[in-house]
Chains A and B, each alone.
Chain A
Amino acid sequence: MFLDAVILFLQEILEASLLISVLLALTELFHKGSGHEFRLSAYWVACAMILSGLGAWAYAAAMPTISEWFDYVGQEIVNSLLHLLSLILLIVLATVVPAGLFREAQTLRNRMTVLSMVIIVLLALVREGSEIILYLNGVLSQAENTIPVLSGGVVGTGIGISSGVFLYYSLISLNQPWSTRVCVLLLALLAGTMASQIVMLLSQADWLPYTAEAWNSSSLVPESSLPGRLLYALIGYEATPSILQVACYGLAVLSILVCPLFRNAWFQSKPVEGRV
């Protein structure tokens, strides 16, 4: 039970923590570029925790009902809509972010940047958190599970958050312009992951047509292995993706690559400085 809990928590926490790390690193880099000091405020972290905790609890509580919508595929439809919203917001972010970031506090661009980041983070925490809550609801109904599950949860959460912290410091310690370049590239791959998830969910619900398997790399990197899980959380790795999944993944990556954020990071001689 202990190990199962470690794996379950790790898997859910990892997905959210890697996404948040990339967004945090990007924010930090932009602050640096425009000569500000960046400090994560405890107030906002607490707000995010409370809001996403409430959101995850509400989503988990509504799950049995949501599941029965649309002839029992409501879960897929609502989840894919949440993913779609995150994906659109990532594209919005990559479009509005580069000009005058954090310099004039009240510009529309700044507000859109902050708002899209806030919603992306909350959605990720609500999605992953609700699954943890559903799991805990189930396994903790048997008293003997309490200690192994909770200690497993602490270990899994610890590893998940540490991986995020490690990624964050790795990203910001790279030399500019590579730091920003890698961040933006990871952002593009995270967008791809969301698109691939949407396709998987809608195929599972039979709302999208079947397409053949694009490749099978399960003997190379099994999805159930630790590298497989890490790659899944970071770049949306699937051992047996469908052709439609791969196509939409590519399309989503491309949609970030054509955004000003990517162009500035890769094709400007000066590092991105948060101003144009």
Chain B
Amino acid sequence: MKRLGYTLLMLFLIAGPVQAATPEIELVIRDHLFFPSVVEVPAGQKIRLRIINQDATPEEFESYELNREKVIAGNRETVIFIGPLQPGEYPFFGEFYPRTAQGKVVAR
């Protein structure tokens, strides 16, 4: 039973950030909208999604399809790793302003 705790702890200790040439794509939040609202990414490849929040208010990037969720404070930026994705469409939205802040990742 304690083995799980140890295993996870070891993972924390040894699994440092994996340094690889991961392509980076920028996504901007402005006036509770995503720019661009359609993010095209290569399929089958890990992507570093840099999200820049230009609003003064925080937003939460959320996507059920991508299995991702993260709060981005106002006037700050952050990074979310996604993929490698199968070709297809993956909608995302801003949980704090879900009516306007919508977009999708299209993997080709």
A63-B73, A64-B76, A67-B76 given as contacts; is B5 within 8 A of A88 (CB)?
Answer: yes
Contact between A200 and B67, CB atoms less than 8 A apart: yes
Contact between A242 and B64, CB atoms less than 8 A apart: no
Chain B minimum-CB-distance residue to A241:
B67
Contact between B1 and A222, CB atoms less than 8 A apart: no
A238 contact set on B, CB distance < 8 A:
67
CB distance from A199 to the nearest CB of B (A): 9
- Among the 9-residue stretches A48-56, A132-140, A158-166, the one with 4 or more Cβ atoms under 8 Å from chain B is A132-140
- Measured in the bound complex, the distance between the Cα atoms of B70 and A223 in whole Å is 17
Over the window 41-67 of chain B, the binary record of Cβ atoms lying under 8 Å from chain A Cβ atoms (1 yes, 0 no) is 000001010100000111110001101
Chain A minimum-CB-distance residue to B57:
A138
A203 contact set on B, CB distance < 8 A:
67, 81
- A15: interface (CB < 8 Å): no
Contact between B46 and A137, CB atoms less than 8 A apart: no
Contact between B96 and A139, CB atoms less than 8 A apart: yes
A91-B1, A134-B58 given as contacts; is B8 within 8 A of A75 (CB)?
Answer: no
Contact between B67 and A73, CB atoms less than 8 A apart: no
For window 1-55 of B, CB contacts with A under 8 Å fall at 1-5, 7-9, 11-12, 15-18, 22, 46, 48, 50
Chain B minimum-CB-distance residue to A209:
B18
A64-B76, A75-B71, A240-B65 given as contacts; is B1 within 8 A of A202 (CB)?
Answer: no
CB distance from A135 to the nearest CB of B (A): 5
- B89: interface (CB < 8 Å): no
Task: Classify chain B's interface size.
Answer: 35 or more
Q: B64 contacts which of A4, A206, A223 (Cβ < 8 Å)? A: A223
- Measured in the bound complex, the distance between the Cα atoms of B84 and A208 in whole Å is 13
- Among the 9-residue stretches A20-28, A171-179, A251-259, A267-275, the one with 4 or more Cβ atoms under 8 Å from chain B is A251-259
B1 contact set on A, CB distance < 8 A:
91, 94-95, 255-256, 258-259
Contact between A81 and B12, CB atoms less than 8 A apart: yes
Contact between A138 and B65, CB atoms less than 8 A apart: no
Interface centre among B15, B60, B71, B83 (most CB of A within 10 A): B71
Chain B minimum-CB-distance residue to A198:
B8
- Measured in the bound complex, the distance between the Cα atoms of B27 and A244 in whole Å is 28
Contact between B96 and A206, CB atoms less than 8 A apart: no
Q: A135 contacts which of B67, B77, B96 (Cβ < 8 Å)? A: B96
- Measured in the bound complex, the distance between the Cα atoms of B81 and A208 in whole Å is 11
CB distance from B3 to the nearest CB of A (A): 8
Q: List 18 A-B contacts (CB under 8 A).
A: A63-B71, A73-B17, A75-B71, A81-B12, A84-B9, A91-B1, A134-B73, A135-B95, A135-B96, A138-B57, A139-B96, A141-B57, A202-B15, A205-B17, A206-B18, A238-B67, A240-B64, A252-B4
